Structure 1
């Protein structure tokens, strides 16, 4: 969960903020209803020895912001009672995450959006991987290929000339005129059940290894 990775995000200069819908307890007919303030305490209790929640959580009691951001699960809209001044039957939020970039030309831009149905949990390692990919791309004028993980080969930006690429990536190779690959070494990084290593992505849950390789003749790029 994100609480366990707060330091990982901090290392990348990423701030976390959460938002949750929260019905009024007195109007909830669900005996299992837990207001989010109590839920946070439960998370802290369950996660003892890991990390307590240290980021802000905004309350969206009437669903105004959830509607604005379009993050309600359409499959559960029958729970929504829009006639109430304060909605007592809010649809489940879909699990939606926005990666918002730093200030650029006076604005903050959305760099990536994750949107899962309410029944599917986030893969926090994938969130970290996308952050690493975006920050690497911004800093080094590269793009990342499918299944890229930190330490894997990157794609030289198409706007970069071969001379520029030679200066920045001396050992880059040309697979196709539009596909030039370069090495970008990275240390070993383990995040929430996944280990990022050069050349592969190991999933410890299944014990399987996913590998993507380009056969370039002189060397194989993992």
Structure 2
């Protein structure tokens, strides 16, 4: 199967819309996003070990994402019936209760649309000769704008806490005129945005610390970031 030309998806691109069959029924992706955030993440195959652990971990953290107005939606290149049987295994292994939808993308139409395919590993194909999906993560905001793209090889599982941390960073930096430094977690100091003049910084962040003229730190309490 030759792949059609995939759209160039970059940070700031509008997330392509699509209609899909999922374990929770038919969806229109933009309608599913609504006025909240969404995390779309793909998996190479059903009934595979790493994917099973990942979906279980996301399911157990779903409540934390919900508090942040974030919906989860998975994708795997298999049929709806396969997904429904697989969810039983996921919940058994992880002790979870998976409730977010998983897209059935056996024909790879959405995988091509979001460029979720591994073209380097020619052996990474299913029984029909179609390429399997890799571990892609897209964080999309309420304006349907792609804010983060992560891509992992099939052999490496993702870190759910890192995905949650990025959501906290994106939402905090959207609300306040700051950026988050290396290894930031809610409650740590943040960087005053470069676009903020020193005069404005004095008003917005009284007592900020200028480590260098271009590196100004200020306190942002966790309660201003995390949902209460």
The reply to whether TM is greater than 0.5 is yes
Name stretches of at least 5 consecutive residues in structure 1 with no aligned partner: 26-34, 82-86, 190-222
Deviation at 1:173, TM superposition (A): 0.7
Describe the superposition over 1:166-210 as per-residue Cα deviations: whole angstroms up to 9, x where unpaired: 2222120111221111011216x9xxxxxxxxxxxxxxxxxxxxx
Deviation at 1:76, TM superposition (A): 3.2
The number of aligned residues is 168
The 8 Å contact of residues 79 and 104 in structure 2, kept in 1 or not, is answered as: no
Runs of 4+ in 1 over 4 A off after TM superposition: none
User: 2:148 matched to 1:112?
Assistant: yes
Deviation at 1:4, TM superposition (A): 0.5
The 8 Å contact of residues 101 and 111 in structure 1, kept in 2 or not, is answered as: yes
Larger radius of gyration: 1
User: 2:128 matched to 1:88?
Assistant: yes
Matches within 5 A, 1:178-197: 178-186=214-222
Q: Which structure exhibits the higher relative contact order, with contacts defined as CA atoms closer than 8 Å and separated by 6 or more residues?
A: 2
Deviation at 1:3, TM superposition (A): 0.2
Aligned-residue RMSD, C-alpha: 2.2
Change (3 A) 1:56 1:43: same
User: 2:195 matched to 1:159?
Assistant: yes
Change (3 A) 1:8 1:22: same
Q: TM-score, normalised by structure 1?
A: 0.69
Which of 58, 66, 69 does residue 111 from structure 2 map onto? 66
Name stretches of at least 5 consecutive residues in structure 2 with no aligned partner: 1-56
Which of 55, 69, 86 does residue 39 from structure 1 map onto? 86
User: 2:168 matched to 1:128?
Assistant: no
Q: TM-score, normalised by structure 2?
A: 0.68
Which of 174, 179, 183 does residue 138 from structure 1 map onto? 174
Bigger share in helix: 2
Deviation at 1:2, TM superposition (A): 0.4
